[in-house]
């Protein structure tokens, strides 16, 4: 069961009764479908909801895989339509993405430390393809450019300690979502070569996904934990 937790006071200042009801309904509707595709989800999952400005501008919200049984969801209550509208239009898709992370173990806390920067790239790519193919959301962070293979080459050279936000969200050179978009390309290539889906590949290692996609992995020496969204 997905249990929404509201990380504000009980005066419903940001999470009105309508918003709380909308979030609960989306969780209840999406959960059976996602569980039918990802069989290894924990029985109980907390959805920690909070308001704040750190969201994806295109959607007004953002999910984070925090721990093996907890997902965070941030929503900007100031946007047109408010929290309830954003929940009804976006939360279902975000649940598809973040719950794929839970099964794969790509979480901020209590998960295995990454062996390479590509662990994050591949995990985000698979989750993006999962939300696209099974959830139905086409995303700008899932669209890769014609020169995406050059992006993959850049990422393969990075140490695991490379600045995560820079390569996954906003690069100083102006590119956005480099890791997500390259990861989506890698996932698509692996799916095309293997005939499996992003759900089937949820537990397949980064190295094996890269092999399926026809891409080799060069492992840097240093190791440090990364974040997951």
- Cα radius of gyration (the chain): 17
Predicted confidence band at 225 (pLDDT cuts at 50, 70, 90)?
Answer: very low
Predicted confidence band at 223 (pLDDT cuts at 50, 70, 90)?
Answer: very low
Predicted confidence band at 7 (pLDDT cuts at 50, 70, 90)?
Answer: confident
Same domain assignment for residues 14 and 72: yes
Q: What is the extent of the structural domain holding 44?
A: 2-104
Q: What is the DSSP string of 12-57?
A: -SSS-HHHHHHHHHHHHHHHHHHHHH-TT--S-EEEEEEE-S-SBT
Same domain assignment for residues 51 and 94: yes
For the stretch 137-146, pLDDT in tens is: 999 999 999 9
- In a domain, residue 110? The reply is no
Same domain assignment for residues 89 and 125: no
pTM here is 0.91
Predicted confidence band at 222 (pLDDT cuts at 50, 70, 90)?
Answer: very low
Question: What is residue 39's predicted lDDT score, i.e. its pLDDT?
Answer: 87
Question: What is residue 11's predicted lDDT score, i.e. its pLDDT?
Answer: 58
Hey, how many other C-beta atoms are within 10 angstroms of the C-beta on 13?
10
Q: Is the pLDDT reported for residue 4 higher than 50?
A: yes
Of 51, 72, 104, the domain-final residue = 104
**What is the count of structural domains for the chain?**
2
Distances (CA, A) of 172 to 55, 61, 156, 164, 214: 19, 23, 19, 12, 29
For the stretch 70-127, pLDDT in tens is: 999 999 998 988 999 999 999 999 999 999 999 999 999 999 899 999 999 999 999 9
Q: What is the DSSP string of 48-67?
A: EEEE-S-SBTTTTEEEEEEE
Which residue is listed with tokens 């700008």?
Answer: 140
Cα–Cα distance, 99 to 40 (Å, whole number):
10
- In a domain, residue 157? The reply is yes
For the stretch 144-166, pLDDT in tens is: 999 999 999 999 999 999 999 99
- In a domain, residue 111? The reply is no
Same domain assignment for residues 13 and 70: yes
Same domain assignment for residues 193 and 126: yes
Cα–Cα distance, 45 to 69 (Å, whole number):
5
* CATH number (domain holding residue 56): 3.30.2010
For the stretch 193-219, pLDDT in tens is: 999 999 999 999 999 999 999 986 554
Same domain assignment for residues 166 and 202: yes
Same domain assignment for residues 99 and 122: no
């Amino acid at each position: 069961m997905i249990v929404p937790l509201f990380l504000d006071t009980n005066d419903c200042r940001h999470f009105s009764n309508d918003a709380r009801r909308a979030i609960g309904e989306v969780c209840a509707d999406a959960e059976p479908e996602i569980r039918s595709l990802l069989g290894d989800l924990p029985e109980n999952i907390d959805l920690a909801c909070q308001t704040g400005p750190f969201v994806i501008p295109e959607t007004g919200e953002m999910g984070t895989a925090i721990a093996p049984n907890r997902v965070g969801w941030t929503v900007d209550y100031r946007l047109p339509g408010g929290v309830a509208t954003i929940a009804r239009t976006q939360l279902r898709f975000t649940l598809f993405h973040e719950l794929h992370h839970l099964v794969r173990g790509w979480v901020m806390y209590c998960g295995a430390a990454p062996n390479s920067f590509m662990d994050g790239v591949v995990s985000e790519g698979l989750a993006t393809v999962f939300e696209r193919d099974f959830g139905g959301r086409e995303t700008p962070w899932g669209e890769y450019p014609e020169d995406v293979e050059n992006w993959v080459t850049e990422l393969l050279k990075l140490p695991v300690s490379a600045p995560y936000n820079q390569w996954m969200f906003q690069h100083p050179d102006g590119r956005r979502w480099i890791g997500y978009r390259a990861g989506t390309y890698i996932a698509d290539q692996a799916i095309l070569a293997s005939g499996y889906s992003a759900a089937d590949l949820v537990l397949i290692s980064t190295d094996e996904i890269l092999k399926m996609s026809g891409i080799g992995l060069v492992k840097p020496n240093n190791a440090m934990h990364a974040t997951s969204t």
